[in-house]
């Protein structure tokens, strides 16, 4: 199966000049990311950075009561392990696989060494960190001010952008956990979207039938994050 995957499927790795990529390539380890796997625990020392290629990982904040909400999602556009090069080495959130797939793992010390060379990797990671901050801030505003249907539409669109197909394999429980809402709220919102002919839902599977319709039902948060991501990562030099 390893031959079906390549580090170039991750946008950050693909943007590296050949000398920087070739320095890292022998140390990139292809790893499976299974649904529900926890890559980072709150407060734990980070040992590796992860560059997803076909998996999607949720950064979740879990309260003492056990309820959680997604701060941001990370797919093939980004990486996990910002604390490694920002100097903190720990994170207060959890990193949990939302969509199963694969990614590449890199030892944290090697990432820091490459970052400290002050080349393209440093510039890419700093730009990506700004993208991540934008996503976290916009998600906080979205969760506070927008309806569950708008939040669900935003979340589905952001997830689709990281996948090659229009079908998502996930349960309503997982979606509710990501949005930090009750499962009944997700059921009602998904039902509204299905009756509108925008999505098709069956147990564990969500298919997007009409993307334009889904975009029209999403709040402005989706477009803000997508626009900022494009602005910051399209012209790194």
Residue 170 pLDDT: 82
Looking at beta carbons, which pairs linking 132-136 to residues 24 or more positions away fall under 8 Å?
A: 132/72, 132/74, 132/78, 132/82, 134/224, 134/225, 134/228, 134/229, 135/71, 135/72, 135/73, 135/225, 135/229, 136/59, 136/71, 136/72
Residues 105, 52: Cα–Cα separation, whole Å: 9
Residue 65 pLDDT: 84
Question: What are the backbone angles phi and psi of residue 165, rounded to the nearest 5°?
Answer: -125, 175
CB atoms inside a 10 Å sphere around CB 26: 7
Residue 20 pLDDT: 96
Angle, helices 148-160/183-195, rounded to nearest 10 degrees: 80
Contacts for 120 with CB less than 8 Å, ≥ 6 apart = 15, 16, 17, 20, 236
The CATH homologous superfamily for domain 2-141 is Jelly Rolls (2.60.120.10)
Q: 2-141 and 147-218: same fold?
A: no
8 Å CB contact between 69 and 141: no
Architecture in CATH of 147-218: Orthogonal Bundle (1.10)
Low-confidence residues in the chain, pLDDT < 50: 1-2
Residue 138 pLDDT: 95
Query: What pTM does this model have?
Result: 0.92
Contacts for 142 with CB less than 8 Å, ≥ 6 apart = 150, 151, 154, 219, 221
Residue 3 pLDDT: 53
Residue 134 pLDDT: 95
81 is written with which tokens?
Answer: 């392990």
Domain residue spans of the chain: 2-141, 147-218
């Amino acid at each position: 199966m390893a031959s079906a995957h390549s580090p170039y499927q991750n946008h950050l790795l693909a943007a590296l000049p050949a000398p920087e990529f070739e320095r890292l390539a022998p140390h990139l380890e292809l790893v499976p990311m299974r649904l529900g796997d926890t890559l980072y625990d709150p407060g734990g020392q980070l040992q590796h950075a992860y560059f997803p290629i076909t998996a999607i990982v949720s950064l979740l904040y879990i309260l003492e009561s056990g309820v959680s909400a997604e701060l941001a999602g990370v797919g093939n556009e980004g990486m996990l392990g910002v604390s490694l090069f920002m100097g903190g080495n720990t994170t207060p959130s959890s990193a949990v696989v939302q969509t199963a797939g694969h990614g590449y793992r890199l030892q944290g010390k090697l990432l820091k060494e490459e970052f400290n060379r002050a080349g393209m990797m440093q510039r890419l990671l700093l730009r990506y960190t700004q993208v991540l901050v934008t996503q976290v801030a916009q998600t906080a505003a979205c969760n506070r001010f927008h309806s569950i249907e708008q939040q669900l539409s935003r979340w589905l669109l952001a997830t689709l952008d990281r996948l090659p197909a229009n079908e998502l394999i996930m349960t309503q429980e997982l979606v509710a956990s990501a949005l930090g809402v009750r499962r009944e709220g997700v059921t009602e919102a998904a039902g509204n979207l299905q009756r509108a002919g925008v999505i098709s839902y069956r147990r564990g599977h969500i298919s997007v039938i009409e993307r334009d319709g889904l975009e029209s039902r999403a709040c402005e948060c989706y477009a803000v994050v997508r626009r900022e991501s494009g602005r910051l990562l399209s012209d790194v030099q």
